[in-house]
Amino acid sequence: MSEPLTIIGSYISPYVRKVLVFLELKGIDYRIDPIPPFVGNDTFSQLSPLRRIPVMRDGDLLLNDSSVICQYLEDRHPQVSLYPVDIADRARARWLEEYADVALGDAIAGKLFYQLGIKPHLFGEKTNDAMVQQARDIDLPAALDYLETHLPTDDFIFGELSIADIGIASFFRMAGFVRYTIDAERWPRCAGLVARTLALPVFAKLATFEDRALRTPVSEQRAVLAAMGAPLTDTTCGGAPPRRGVIVID
């Protein structure tokens, strides 16, 4: 019997969430080392040269970047398909995923969550209020204005659930951690899509681990998640003193 696939990365991360949704929906056996990138040790640096998550190991294959990992999982395990069949739709789905990774990733993960969660609680540093305001008042409205023109009034973007829906919703799940919600009157399509996607059982299942991790100090998260029955790896790449990655927004 082959070894389970391994994921390194925190349940809280939207990039990790995207990959875990793929694994769950495709029924792929996996184990997770649920560390934030900031506490990765030297082994983590070797596995992830940019010190980013997720990292995936499947046998001898090591991959970084959530988009690369999801495409690999789709190619290796085509059932259940999470990319549209039509070539044009497939390309559009990849673009919407990329847009979410960059635009929402910068505003939500790189600014809101980093400033309100990571800096004060992990590094003991003061929040940059101007950067938080930039994300709330400028960056996120611009991203939502764009997405609103590309989303349906109901159902998923391409009819069936796809990487595009999963990618967009994963970031707004993180936004909720810092009390940001989409204004449903201004952006009804965005709010509707995110609500439909996050209501799926797979997101609800992962939310139990996310919520507990969010309320637990990093040093205690592994033990708490193990007690909850999370499918943890035998060893961890975590435990090092907090340090920033290659690219950091201050």
The pLDDT, as a whole number, for residue 99 is 98
pLDDT in tens, 162-191: 999 999 999 999 999 999 999 999 999 999
Secondary structure of 207-223 in HEC code, one letter for each residue: HHHHHHHHCCCHHHHHH
Q: What is the dihedral of CA 177, 183, 188, 190, to 10 degrees?
A: -40
Q: Which residue, 105, 102, 80, is CA-closest to 22?
A: 80
DSSP labels, 187-201 = -HHHHHHHHHHHTSH
Picking from 250, 91, 66, the residue whose alpha carbon sits closest to that of residue 158 is 91
Q: What is the pLDDT of residue 69?
A: 98
DSSP class of 178: T
Domains (ranges, CATH) in the chain? 87-201 (1.20.1050.10)
Distance CA 37, CA 50 (A): 10
CA–CA gap between residue 202 and residue 206 (Å, rounded): 6
Q: How much is the pLDDT for 250?
A: 42
Question: How high is the pLDDT of residue 187?
Answer: 98
- Confidence bin at 246 (pLDDT 50/70/90): low
Measure the N-to-C terminal CA separation of the chain; round to a whole number of Å: 46
